Structure 1
């Protein structure tokens, strides 16, 4: 069976680092390109982090640097969570700079998509600024995209605003453009991330799983250290889990809109599960996850990162 070709659009980021590892070491996925976008920290830092991870994982995947700020919104990072560099808690090697492409992420994505013999899956685990610009500048790519499997949005509450999840709220205009693009979308949002937990005993097991497990453990200790003992939420890995084990999820096909004008709710993903808006479905939304099976999948996946 041939591997499924994917592009990961990311802003590493501690939980991004583990999602990227699982994808890179998977026997079912072929990571064709990693693109970066400002999010958890600045564009320069997230790009450096992506290159550090590839050096650490000993993987040669091209990296393309994308957008340094949202389309319209003011950029506000998450360094209060991920630390000043975005990946505090572990001493990574120097970045593998030779993997950095000279072309902008949007142009690199277009090239990889159009040259692929098989439709590409895009996996955004960050703000979707790059993807919105890709569709605006090069709409022809849509014909060779299998689907977008994103980590972002929320069916219920938020983690950046009252009703807004960080990745969508960072660039809500871009998210709205992507949801309205006509490309098949799977949304693995905040709600399932809250149940995708790594518990303390899991972390102790992971610590012994080679250098990637040791790295993960030390990042976990730093990442929201206050919740280390109550369960760490593996948000970004939820998107990779959907690609590899969709049976973990309960999924509803529905319409998702992005609130752009709310005085208190900008960036909210309006998930119309009851059909109030009378709009055609534009996304498959993960509404639940089997948390116990996710924990086992996550540990097994990290154990294979060798």
Structure 2
């Protein structure tokens, strides 16, 4: 059975790779792209989602979402990573199609209520839209099939953060929203840096995408030039970690990931703002801000070659359809 997903996203180079993966794989039905600030400002995020929809003929809806965090001051777009236009500054035609008139969080509420227990929410940007949906309509907690988050870092394999020593970007952009989403009484699986930093798109791998996946492969190669330059200059590596596409890989084949269960909290201020902490041991304490929260799943290991094979196979079939 196909997984029906609403993909909440801030496109974003690796977001584009994840969006195309979701559209490409026959086991995923991409219902909508809901956009959020993060890698880019909200108008650019929405423009990029509409661009992908129009250029590659997606049937999904696009809904424009939150432009700022729930409480904290915005940290600004990730121009150094994704470029001024979010897609590595490649030339783009302005889309001539429009977004759904509803705000993204309202679109999520309406769609989940219309298809109870069928929709998986996949979020690969700041979690503001999901938090707003929960705040406005808490009843959707019992109507969503699953929530899959690319975000957070729990210290497995010594992966602790990428925008601060202890915070991952999506959570750091809106820690209050992340805490709302992680502590809600609905099923959450977190695909964080613990596993996304264990899977790697080498420059040779991205060259293979270009050479075997038709127009979509050429597009991913083009937008990745800026991204790979960032990785090379900042980390000295020839390639990039597989962040957002890993969340889609989990939806398609959860067996590629090893999960650990326990409630999650987020540090919302101070020098550790954005730190994600999971209580996975059954210990008892006089003070325990995790004890009454729903246990959630965190990915702590991954079959990295399996993810790479799944991605290449999906994109090759899609690019040559």
* Class of the TM-score when normalised by the shorter of the 2 chains: over 0.9
Q: How many residues align?
A: 303
TM score, norm. by length of structure 1: 0.94
Helix, strand or coil for the counterpart of 1:97? coil
2:301 aligned residue: 288
Q: Counterparts in 2 of 1:54-93, with a 5 A limit?
A: 54-76=53-75, 77-93=77-93
1:19 aligned residue: 18
Deviations 1:216-244 (A, max 9, x none): 11122211315365331120001000011
CA contact (8 A) 1:257 1:270 kept: yes
With over 3 angstroms needed to count, the CA separation of the structure-2 counterparts of 1:274 and 1:231, relative to structure 1, is farther
1:181 aligned residue: 184
Structure 1: distance between partners of 2:174 and 2:89: 28
Helix, strand or coil for the counterpart of 2:43? helix
Structure 2: distance between partners of 1:197 and 1:219: 17
State the shift of 1:8 in Å. 0.6
Structure 1: distance between partners of 2:31 and 2:310: 23
1:40 aligned residue: 39
Structure 2: distance between partners of 1:199 and 1:275: 40
1:298 and 2:297 aligned: no
TM score, norm. by length of structure 2: 0.90
With over 3 angstroms needed to count, the CA separation of the structure-2 counterparts of 1:96 and 1:183, relative to structure 1, is farther
2:207 aligned residue: 204
CA contact (8 A) 2:88 2:224 kept: no
1:136 aligned residue: 135
State the shift of 1:40 in Å. 0.4
State the shift of 1:56 in Å. 1.7
1:274 aligned residue: 281
Helix, strand or coil for the counterpart of 1:223? helix
CA contact (8 A) 2:185 2:294 kept: no
Counterpart among 219, 235, 239 of residue 231 in structure 1: 239
Structure 2: distance between partners of 1:96 and 1:16: 21
State the shift of 1:271 in Å. 2.2
- CA RMSD, Structure 1 to Structure 2 (Å): 1.6
Q: Counterparts in 2 of 1:89-168, with a 5 A limit?
A: 89-98=89-98, 100-116=99-115, 118-156=117-155, 157-168=160-171
Deviations 1:134-163 (A, max 9, x none): 001111222210110010001121111110
Structure 2: distance between partners of 1:106 and 1:96: 23
Helix, strand or coil for the counterpart of 1:219? helix
With over 3 angstroms needed to count, the CA separation of the structure-2 counterparts of 1:281 and 1:110, relative to structure 1, is closer
CA contact (8 A) 1:21 1:305 kept: no
1:254 aligned residue: 262
Structure 2: distance between partners of 1:115 and 1:166: 32
Unaligned runs of 5+ in 2: none
Deviations 1:43-80 (A, max 9, x none): 00100000011112111211111110001111122111
State the shift of 1:96 in Å. 4.2
Which is further off, 104-113 or 117-126? 117-126
Structure 2: distance between partners of 1:234 and 1:91: 24
State the shift of 1:245 in Å. 1.5
State the shift of 1:92 in Å. 3.2
Structure 1: distance between partners of 2:268 and 2:193: 19
